[in-house]
Amino acid sequence: MKLSVAIAVLMLVLAAHSDAQEAEVAEPTIEQRFADFQQQMQTLTDDLGEKTKAALEKFHTSDIAVKTKSFFAEQFEKIKAKIDETFPKES
């Protein structure tokens, strides 16, 4: 919900900003407005994608993530060893 509100506000700000810039020059056609809007959205999504990727990579290599993975791997190995000890395989 918060993301959709933020996107709507961002679109309104972009529209107001582009209208203010366009008031200084000749009135662009609807085709030009759509092209500008498409370019702005493409730039926004590319930037958002890069930032998200960087944040996820940073989290993935963070100390807490590495320690958590190690902890769960160790616990899994302990449980597996205990099950093998409790229920030995019969050949």
* Separation CA 63–CA 41 (nearest Å): 35
Per-residue pLDDT tens over the stretch 56-82 = 999 989 999 999 999 999 999 999 999
* Domain encompassing residue 35: 1-60
Which distant-in-sequence residues (6+ apart) come within 8 Å of 59 by Cβ? 65
**Whether residues 5 and 31 fall in one domain:** yes
* Structural tokens at position 2: 């918060």
Per-residue pLDDT tens over the stretch 20-41 = 555 555 677 889 999 999 999 9
**Whether residues 29 and 3 fall in one domain:** yes
Query: Taking Cα atoms as reference points, which of 17, 59, 20, 64 lies closest to residue 40?
Result: 17
pTM of the model: 0.46
- On whether the CB atoms of residues 59 and 65 are closer than 8 A, the answer is yes
Tally of domains within the chain: 2
**Whether residues 31 and 69 fall in one domain:** no
**Whether residues 79 and 56 fall in one domain:** no
**Whether residues 27 and 56 fall in one domain:** yes
Q: What is the DSSP letter of 89?
A: P
pLDDT value at residue 28: 77
